Amino acid sequence: MAARARSEVREEAILLAAMALLGEVGYDRMSVEAVAERAKASKATVYRRWAGKAELVATAVRRYAGTTPEPRRRSGDLRADLLTLLDDLCSSLLGQDAALILGLLGAMRHDAELARTVRQAVLSEKHHAFAALLPDADHAWLAELTSAALLSRLLVTGEPLDDEFLAKLVDTVLLPQLEEPPCGT
C-alpha cells in the first residue's frame, strides 16, 4: 500500500510539473527532461509511465486543466439556469493560466493526438453540463458557441467575463439557439 501511495505522489508531482512548465514555457519549449527535473524524478520514471511529451501533457490536461462544472437540473427558469452554467464555465476558465491555454492551442495545430485529447477533455465537460440542463439540445453546438465566445473575450479582446457579458451571451446567442425554428425552415 505504501509503494502505491508513493507511486501516486510521484505521478502527481510529475503531472503538476508538466502543467507548470506548460504555463511557463509552452508546449513546444517544454521537455520531458525539464519535467523530470522539476518533479525531482528521473527521466526513466517519466518514460515508464508515458511514451513521450504528448502523452504526458494529455494526462496532465485531463487531470488538471480546469474544473468540471457540476451538472445542474432545470430550475424552471431557463435564462437563470444558463447564466449559472456560464458563470461556472467562466470560473473554470479564469482558474486556468492564459499562457497555458495559448500554449496548448498553438501546439494543438501541430500535434493531432494532443489536439484530440485536449478537445475531448475540455469539450466533453461542457457537453455534459449542457446535456444535464438541456437534454434535447445540440450540446456540441452550444459548447462550441460558448467556448468561442468565452475564449475570444478572455484571450482576444481582453474584455471582462462579467455579468453583463454573460447576460448578453445568453439573451442574444444561446436563448435564440434554443427556440423552435419557424415552420418551413
Structure confidence at residue 184 (pLDDT): 53
CB neighbour class for 126 (10 Å; exposed up to 12, middle 13-18, buried from 19) = buried
Structure confidence at residue 3 (pLDDT): 59
Q: State which residues of the chain have pLDDT below 50.
A: none
Ordered by where they begin, the domains of the chain are: 2-63 (1.10.10.60), 68-178 (1.10.357.10)
> Is-above-0.85 flag for pTM?
no
Please state, in angstroms and as integers, the Cα–Cα distance from residue 14 to each residue in 55, 84, 155, following that order. Answer: 12, 34, 28
Structure confidence at residue 41 (pLDDT): 96
Structure confidence at residue 62 (pLDDT): 76
pLDDT tens digit string along 44-56? 999 999 998 988 9
